[in-house]
Amino acid sequence: MLWQVAWFEIRFWLRSGMLWIFLVVIALLICGAISSDEVMAELSFSNIYRNAPFAIANYYAGMSVFTLLMTAIFVNSAALRDFTYNTHPILYSTPLRRRDLLLGRFFGATAISFIPMLGVSLGILVARYMPWVDQERWEAVSWTAHVRGILLFALPDTFFTAAVLFAVAVVWRRDVASFIAAILLFTGRAMTGLLFQDAQSGGIRALLDPFGFRALAAVTRYWTVAEKNTLFVGFSGLLLWNRLLWIGVGCAAFAVAYSRFSFAERETKNTAPELDEQVGMVSPGARATPARLTDSPWAKFVGSCKLHFRGMAKSTAFVVIVLIAGFICIVALAADGAQFEGNETYQIFPVTYAVIELIRGTLDFFLIIIIIYFSGALVWKDREERMDEIADATPTPEWMSYAARLATLIGMVISIQAVALVAGIVDQAIHGYHRFQLGLYIHELLVRDASTFLFLAILAFFIQVLAPNKYVGYFVFIAFYFADIYLWRALNVSTNLVQFAGRPNVVYSDFFGDAPYRWAWNWFTLYWLLFCVLLAMATVMFWPRGKQDRWRSRIHNAALRFGPRWKTAAAISLLAFVGCGGWIWYNTEALNSLLGPSDAERIQADYEKSYKPLDKLPQPRVGSVKYTIDVFPTTRNVNIGGEEVILNPYPHALGEIHFSLDPRYDTSIDIPGAALAKDDTRLSYRIYRFTSPLQPGEARTLRFTVKSKNRGFENNLSNPQIVQNGTFLSNLGPLVTGANYLAPIVGYNYWRELTDSAARKKFGLHEVDLMPSPERHCTDDCRDSYIPGHSDWVDISAVISTAPDQIAVAPGSLVGEWQQDGRHYFEYKLDHPSMNLFCFASARYEVARERWNGIELEVYYLKEHPWNVPRMINSMKKSLDYYIKNFGPYEHKEARIVEFPRVAGFAAAFPGTMPYSESLGFIANLNHPDDIDTVFYVVAHEMGHQWWDEQVIGANMEGATLLSETLAQYSALMVMEKEYGRDMMRKFLRYEMDLYLAARGQERMKERPLLKVEYKQFYIFYNKGAVALYYMKEMIGEDAVNRALRKLIHQYAYAGPPYPTSYALVDALREETPANLEYLIKDLFEDITLFSNRTVEAMAVERADEKYDITLTVETRKFKADAKGNETEVPVDDWIDIGAFAKPASGKKYGDTLYRERMHITKRNSTFTFVTSQLPEKAGIDPFALLIDRIPDDNMKEVALQSAPAQHGQVH
């Protein structure tokens, strides 16, 4: 009987279209994703085979979350069918057994729910035959990978979801309960992710994901490209436990359902009272005084709102969604405002805009769900409850029925936001932050966000009114929502005039509020408001009333309703809408230019194609630049004038000079003895021909002006660096968003190249543009540093004027400051010629100053962000102290940190001046002692650049960043070591290593050794570089490393061309390395070397003198990896630390070091014994994370305490 029930269930669905539609949808999704370069890049899968086993496992695990809703439909229907169709009295009175009914239904529904999952395999198998795919990215079909995906994810996940939803359906017998359970499963998964985001609880996080996705991520976290292409995910470790756990939970859920199920009819509270049936109607004696009929639309409106509001607030779906949303929002707020930067979690102060973003991030999803769900519920309410005929026959105008429902929905959304607003303020108060910006809260949440919700609600109502049923309405709305997001981009349209509710992105900053964005945002909001008014009128005209079985009668009705007053209103709105649109068009496309997304990319590509070949032409070199800069904060304009000395260092005359320009500025160039030969306005490139050629050794002074052209308002702010307060412009290139050309750049600017490989491919550019390989003895090829612009060491000075209440800052010493004609002037001059990079800022700053050994230390900051200023000054002092002692003199009279608005989020180094983003360090909350002091670290890093980059800069070759970024990292680590002690370095090293290991598995090109690192491989030159140099220091000593670095300074500081390559550093280090350790140079810089160290056993035995004998059994393996991550094991012959840590004091993360010793390890398995004064918590190999270790987590092991050694006697 059981199997008959199951088979009935299966047949029922096999015949329905829905199952097959789901299967096809999944297959299409996977097929589309897997054959799309963009999506693969998004998933960081572009470096592996499209059908690599790793990818297949990920699709199965990822799709399990997606199919949740489909499973919910099948299972809920199977569990509730008898109640939905009222067949339970018939069916439940048959001698069918509970076991057969429940198990049969469950098996049937689970089997059916599993079928759409097969779409994953189907999609993968079909995708390679799509005409546009690149066959080289596919490997032979691996059936094992498909089977593993099914066995590890598809089946257990379907079983788990089905069991839980079945249980919910059986116990509560309500659709809404199943709906809520599905949402809970979905959000619960997100919640565990949110709650356990720090590295320590990674294991819990992986276990708590019911779909196994995070367990998969944890297991494969450090997989290399080669491993992702070949290895299968196995039934072991964390993943196995995860699967067993959730299959167990599924079984338990089913058991509960089984025990709670009863054939008996459920008692309902709503049984009809039978008391007064015989009384019936009283005779019509009691007659009302005829109440007056009054036309009061307002009273009707308010009354209806109240009624709908109450109905909505009481509905289970609403209560549950709000509870979940509130829970998540409050957890997120309570989590101290944790914020992700890179991969590192650090705390920030709950500044209002951050709290608002947190509220948005957690709440908006649910508010949109509420809008979608309840727009349908409210539009269809009367018809679903069969109240429509009564209500529709009352003299209630359609607009009122509509307006009352819309107001109810928006009122509900706003009330939820208001509650979140209060929660945000309470959160700020709890954290001791008392700058409550109530106005900002109200504007951002209750105006800016609420307007979006209003627009969405109006659209949703419109769709629901036209839809033949609620579900079609939901589907159409969601389909429209996503199509509207992605379609315009695909059509190369970027104007906000067409994307529904499209408005400029606003980045709030404590510098300028939203001032630069305000006008554009307001106009676009008005435009969409008018559009929505029209949409609302259309909705009213087609508002369902009565029985409308035909479109003809609906149109007939609409025409009847569309009376003269409506016509007038519609005409006025339409006129206003068109007028507003025209005004916006005039501002965004006539006054300003607007490019489609792929137009902008095409220009970049054409620029590269046309002018990169000219890069080899010798160009005059820049000798000095004198800037005259006028900043106009209120009108958001900057005029830059300049005198630039160009000279010819070559032995032959130069006939041309080329410039790359910034298209956002009007540029004029005046060169004595030269005429404009080519002006490519589309690609912003100019060629001037010397009428009298520039002779060898000759210098000329050219003049230029670069003027910003802020006119009207733009579709999206093209230059958010020029603002009312906090203008910050720099011509620093590739690492930084929003670089500006403060002066025309001589020659070709490779920082303008397209970097996204999918985009490059689209425009027919070769995939990566490789820099040349470094040469050991390099002359001509090292003529240029990696800064574009054909310059060497340049003398720069600037006179900057700004608004009288603002301070302008630029690199160099302040040599003059005066007020003139109502403007504030500042004159800066570099203390030492530097690379031709420049920046300046203008804002209403507070300035903190301190003198240290004749150097002026300054921090320019906003008065709202004073917290970390002392840390910054401290870090500057400690850095200067260490670097001057160990590297060489500091060439500037000042060291200053300048805060700039959060439109960009980086810190950078210019000569003596280090701009630092508002969002990066100024609002960091570093009051937790064991967290990494990122502010101190970053400042030390930027200070390090004052030697490495500012003094020694690499030639434009692979490995160039080794000389700047890696050495800045090393420098910072050394300052940290002096500040926090050598034993505490493990937290920094571990942090850097995690970043390196995780990023190398996502490498899209080739992983390179440090010596030949590409300038985009941040994870190598920052993260691996830090660990490698620190290990070098551990092995050959701090003095030896610093001697090598001093040598580098001595030889290359402010010298060149030719500029040094990575060999300069590596060779200097080699000279300091004793012969027996020379392998280190090869291991760390020339090869990719990895260890796999593991502690197999750590035992402690207490001795008579209350000390402990520790016995460690460890395993050591060493590998060399190739560019794709294929590893070859090599013999171990290395010096590796062993050690033991005490249990951390309560509230601390790190325990004291009880033992630390370096061992020479030459074989795979070793055993060590040592004595500690107290019982260690953990002991193991490489406790300080000095070596690059494949799996750093298993280096240390909990120490097991053995009982007294007396037992040894019994063995004998």
Partner 1 sequence: MSMELRIENLSKTYKNGVKALDNVSLTIPAGMYGLLGPNGAGKSTLMRTLATLQEPDSGSATLGDIDVLKQKDEVRRRLGYLPQEFGVYPRISAQDMLSHIALLKGIAKATERRDLVACMLKRCNLYDDRKKALSGFSGGMRQRFGIAQALIGNPQLLIVDEPTAGLDPGERNRFYNLLAEIGEQVIVILSTHIVEDVTDLCTNTAIIHRGRVLYQGRPQDAIAQLNGRIWQISVAKNELSDYERRYQVVSSRLVGGRPLLHIYSATPLSESFTPSAPDLEDVFFTKIRSWN
Across 156-227, the runs of DSSP E, i.e. the strands, are none
Binding of partner 1 by 307 (CB under 8 A): yes
Rule CB under 8 A: say whether 1070 interacts with partner 1.
no
Q: How far is the CB of 390 from partner 1 (least distance, A)?
A: 6
Pick the stretch among 279-287, 590-598, 1128-1136, 1137-1145 that binds partner 1 (CB under 8 A). Answer: 279-287
| Residue 719 contacts residue 706 (beta carbons within 8 Å) | no
Q: Which of 135, 283, 1128, 1210 binds partner 1 (CB under 8 A)?
A: 283
Name the β-bridge partners of 1167.
Answer: 1113
Under rule CB under 8 A, residue 193 binds partner 1: no
Burial class (CB in 10 A: 0-12, 13-18, 19+), 1004: middle
Tell me which stretch binds partner 1 (CB under 8 A): 252-260, 295-303, 593-601, 804-812.
295-303
Neighbours of 903 (CB within 10 A): 22
Q: Are 174 and 195 in contact (CB under 8 A)?
A: no
Q: Which stretch binds partner 1 (CB under 8 A): 298-306, 601-609, 650-658, 1152-1160?
A: 298-306
**Which residues in 547-566 contact partner 1 (CB under 8 A)?**
547-550, 552-553, 556-557, 560
Shortest Å distance, C-beta 289 to partner 1: 7
- 266 scored as a contact of partner 1 (CB under 8 A): no
Interacting residue with partner 1 among 17, 89, 290, 1147 (CB under 8 A): 290
Query: Environment class of residue 109 by beta-carbon count within 10 Å: exposed (0-12), middle (13-18) or buried (19+)?
Result: buried
Considering the rule CB under 8 A, would residue 1152 count as an interface residue with partner 1?
no
781 sits in which H/E element: none
The pairing of beta strand 338-341 with beta strand 344-347? antiparallel
Q: How far is CA 47 from CA 42, 831, 1007, 1013, in A?
A: 11, 46, 11, 17
Which window, 5-13, 391-399, 598-606, 802-810, contacts partner 1 (CB under 8 A)?
Answer: 391-399
CA nearest neighbour of 524 among 387, 714, 379: 714
Question: Judged by CB under 8 A, does residue 289 bind partner 1?
Answer: yes
267 counts as binding partner 1 under rule CB under 8 A? no
**Residue in 202, 311, 326, 738 binding partner 1, rule: CB under 8 A:** 311
Tokens of 1175: 């019982």
Among 130, 151, 387, 578, interactor with partner 1 by CB under 8 A:
387
Query: Does residue 265 bind partner 1 (CB under 8 A)?
Result: no
Nearer to partner 1 by Cβ, of 50 and 470: the residue is 470
Residue 248 Cβ vs partner 1, minimum distance, rounded to whole Å? 38
Torsion of CA 70, 75, 77, 83, to 10 degrees: -150
CB of residue 217 to partner 1, shortest distance in Å: 44
Are residues 775 and 954 in contact, defined by beta-carbon separation less than 8 angstroms?
A: no
Q: Are 968 and 937 in contact (CB under 8 A)?
A: no
1076 binds partner 1 per the rule CB under 8 A: no
Nearer to partner 1, 84 or 691 (CB): 84
Asked if 854 is part of the footprint of partner 1 (rule: CB under 8 A), the reply reads no
Count other Cβ atoms within 10 Å, centred on residue 653.
13
Q: Is residue 824 a contact partner of residue 845, using CB atoms and an 8 Å limit?
A: no
**Stretch binding partner 1 (CB under 8 A), from 71-79, 545-553, 678-686, 1008-1016:** 545-553
Alpha carbon distance 940, 431 (integer Å): 28
Length of the chain, in residues: 1212
Question: Which residue, 221 or 545, is less far from partner 1 as judged by CB?
Answer: 545
Q: Which residue lies nearer to partner 1 by CB, 312 or 862?
A: 312
Q: Which of 319, 770 has the CB closer to partner 1? A: 319
Least distance (Å) between residue 275 CB and partner 1: 8
The answer to whether residue 498 forms part of the interface with partner 1 (CB under 8 A) is no
545 binds partner 1 (CB under 8 A): yes
Give the β-pairing of 855-861 and 846-852: antiparallel
Distance of alpha carbon 950 from alpha carbon 830, whole angstroms = 12
End-to-end CA distance of the chain: 66
Among 193, 397, 581, 734, binds partner 1 (CB under 8 A): 397
Stretch that binds partner 1, among 159-167, 221-229, 278-286, 335-343 (CB under 8 A): 278-286
Residues contacting partner 1: total by CB under 8 A: 59
Residue 371 in tokens:
């809008």
DSSP-derived secondary structure for 997-1022: HHHHTT-SS----GGG--TT-HIIII
Q: Which residue has the tokens 């830090």?
A: 1026
385 binds partner 1 (CB under 8 A): yes
Q: Does 618 bind partner 1 (CB under 8 A)?
A: no
Kindly give the pairing relationship between strand 894-900 and strand 855-861.
Answer: parallel
Among 236, 278, 634, 681, binds partner 1 (CB under 8 A): 278
Q: Are 78 and 9 in contact (CB under 8 A)?
A: yes
Residue 20: which residues within 8 A CB-CB, separation 6 or more? none
Does position 295 interact with partner 1 (CB under 8 A)? The reply is yes
Least distance in angstroms from the C-beta of 84 to partner 1: 17
Which of 76, 229, 304, 971 touches partner 1 (CB under 8 A)? 304
The residues near 221 (Cβ < 8 Å, ≥ 6 apart) are: 997, 998, 1001
Question: Which tokens go with 357?
Answer: 């973003």
User: How far is CA 611 from its chain centroid?
Assistant: 34
Does position 303 interact with partner 1 (CB under 8 A)? The reply is yes
15 binding partner 1? (CB under 8 A): no
CB nearer partner 1, residue 548 or residue 1111: 548
Nearest approach, Cβ of 403 to partner 1 (angstroms)?
14
Q: Is the Cβ of residue 544 or residue 1001 nearer to partner 1 in the bound state?
A: 544
Residue ranges that bind partner 1, judged by CB under 8 A? 269-274, 276-284, 286-296, 299-300, 303-304, 307, 310-311, 314-315, 381, 385-387, 389-397, 545-550, 552-553, 556-557, 560
